[in-house]
Amino acid sequence: MGQVPLYYNHKKTGRPAEADNKYTSKYLDISWTPLYPFGYGLSYTRFKVSNLRLSATSIPPRGHITAQVDVENIGSRLGDEVAQIYIHHVSGSSTRPVKELKGFQRISLRPAEKRTLEFTLGPEQLGFYNRSMQFGVEPGKIEVFAGNSSEETIGTSFDVER
């Protein structure tokens, strides 16, 4: 079966994906979610991503912000995990994808081991090309998501100042 959209970083449709809403942007007779979301990986153990925190609540357009997240092996075997960081610019001058992958780190963890990972987000990760084809970081709210796939994430946000 096919699902639309076929990619993780689609733009908002403006219609909710609610099961009992007839004005929706989903299939009515089958699941509208992919079998495996972007970034999903198989493992012989399980991991928990938690405690996403940012180094600031706002930054200037040319500033940098650090995101830290804890990754813990909650299974019974040694395993590798790929922690991912995504952003969503809520109010850009051009419509922005619901999530954009901006970094990832692969780590190996023993059972019950926990490690804090750090991601730096700066103009290269936060900027985009506007309608005039000029690259830059626009002011507004940025949502940050961390997880082990594009769907299984935790989130927080910060502001880019004017």
| Tokens at 41, concatenated | 């990986």
Is 18 part of any domain?
A: no
Range of the domain at 141: 47-160
pLDDT given at position 1: 46
CATH number assigned to the domain comprising residue 111: 2.60.40.10
Count up the domains in the chain and report the number.
1
Tell me whether residue 132 is in a domain. Answer: yes
Name which of 52, 113, 62 is nearest 84 in CA terms: 52
Looking at the domain assignment, is residue 146 inside a domain?
yes
**pLDDT 10s digits, 119-131:** 999 999 999 998 8
pLDDT tens track for 56-66: 999 999 999 99
Q: Looking at the domain assignment, is residue 38 inside a domain? A: no
Report residues of the chain scoring pLDDT below 70: 1-10, 13-19, 21-32
Q: What is the pLDDT of residue 5?
A: 58
Distance between CA 17 and CA 138 in Å, rounded?
Answer: 28
User: 157 has which bridge partners?
Assistant: 143
